[in-house]
Amino acid sequence: MWWKGLLVAMVTPFKEDGTVDVEGIRRIVEFHINSGTDVLVPCGTTGEVATLFEEEWELVIKTVVDASAGRIKVVAGAGGYNTAEVVERARTAQQLGVDGILSVCPYYNKPTQEGLYQHFKKVAESVSIPVIVYNVPSRTSRNIEPATIRRLSEVDNIVAIKEASGNVEQAMEIKYLCGDRITLLSGEDSLTLPLMSVGGKGIVSVVGNIIPQDVKALISAFERGDTQSAYNWAIKLFPISKAMFIETNPIPVKTAMNILKMPAGPLRLPLTPMQEENKRKLYDVLLSYGLIEGEKV
């Protein structure tokens, strides 16, 4: 089982003219391979997938797969609210050589639990690679309920759930209903340790874009039974994890990456540059963490 540990929800770096920064993507891939990241997840929410044209979506995935060259697993975002279109995207991602797909809960349409089950079942049956279901009700207006996840766990290649409801009790219910039939992954950096304590196996991380070694250290400590070290890492990571959501993701993480001279570049509308007050708060958090030098602003 490779779909565990540190999965990083990659940003999509853009050039100043707004085009995809292909060389930046390659640099990001090398950074994560050298940092010990387990899985790269391009073209998700953090990758501004909603603003990517189809050909750009394919370019980003192809670039990550080619740059990875089998040295790190790649799970591509392939989701939406039109099941037929998601099926086509999943098939295309498989053809591009990804190891798996991450598929978000259909948004806007507000399907019933039966509709959610049928949607993900259809998507999973259209490919032969592992599928990770992504539950993020704050963005989609629909919660994939634990009973629905239990049904989905019986579909052969639905292997994991990225649980970003923020509800630890719901995560426990998923483990109670599904056992080891589905892998529980945290969808929120600040809840990595709490979810691992109830059976989670890792995190699809935003803050991992900038400090993957530290997030991996938390996970590794917990896995080897060193709960005190895992707790210490969780407390250290908490302020910076929360700072990644001062404004809508991925505004803060791309801002942080630009401050740290990492490939990120501008955002695409309707996302806008970070407000100066919040940017100062982010700067102070990066300073306190030791990622930059200087004085608080």
* Candidates 4, 73, 162, 201; catalytic one: 162
Can you tell me whether residue 296 is helix, strand or coil?
coil
Q: Which residues pair with 203 in a beta bridge?
A: 6, 186
Question: Would you call 177 exposed, middle or buried from its count of C-beta atoms within 10 A (0-12, 13-18, 19+)?
Answer: middle
d(CA 140, CA 111): 10
Is there a catalytic annotation at residue 134?
yes
For CA atoms 194, 161, 202, 24, the dihedral sign is negative
Q: Measured over all CA atoms, what is the biggest interatomic distance in the chain, rounded to whole angstroms?
A: 54
Tell which residue, 175, 118, 139, has the closest CA to residue 46: 139
Active site residue 15: no
Catalytic residue among 4, 73, 117, 134: 134
Hey, which residues are catalytic here? 134, 162
